[in-house]
Amino acid sequence: NAGVMQNPRHLVRRRGQEARLRCSPMKGHSHVYWYRQLPEEGLKFMVYLQKENIIDESGMPKERFSAEFPKEGPSILRIQQVVRGDSAAYFCASSPPVEGRSDGYTFGSGTRLTVV
């Protein structure tokens, strides 16, 4: 009965490289949310996905960032050509497909991205 699994836990990238962050939701959960936590700040919403659909990407930077949640496999948050300002903790959360009520998310332990 695993929770939300994120990997890697820590990721170091040089400026200009690509970062790929993975998130496997809880069993039975079909909604995935990505949040970013910058040092000394709260969590900022990035994107909300369901299987094969991006529902809300209003928090995603317009360039270099993309997310997907394929029919099979984990959700992927991809950051191309990383810059120092991308250094942050990236959290994934999942929830079941309950319409009309938010049961609260189950969070993963996060991926801490460091850009050097």
Partner 1 sequence: AQSVTQPDIHITVSEGASLELRCNYSYGATPYLFWYVQSPGQGLQLLLKYFSGDTLVQGIKGFEAEFKRSQSSFNLRKPSVHWSDAAEYFCAVAPSGGYQKVTFGTGTKLQVIP
Per-residue mark of binding to partner 1, 53-82 (x: CB under 8 A)? --xx--------------------------
Which tokens go with 93? 């959360």
Residue 28 sits in the site that holds partner 1 (CB under 8 A): no
- In whole angstroms, how far apart are CA 23 and each of 43, 80, 84, 106? 17, 18, 23, 12
**Least distance from partner 1 to the Cβ atom of residue 48, Å:** 6
* Prior bond of 70 cis (ω within 30°): no
Cα separation, 82 vs 89, whole angstroms: 14
Residue 100 sits in the site that holds partner 1 (CB under 8 A): yes
Residue 41 sits in the site that holds partner 1 (CB under 8 A): yes
* Cβ within 8 Å of residue 103, ≥6 positions away: 95, 96
Residue 99 sits in the site that holds partner 1 (CB under 8 A): yes
**Least distance from partner 1 to the Cβ atom of residue 16, Å:** 27
Binding site for partner 1 (CB under 8 A): 4, 6, 31, 33, 35, 41-45, 48, 55-56, 91, 93, 95, 98-110, 112
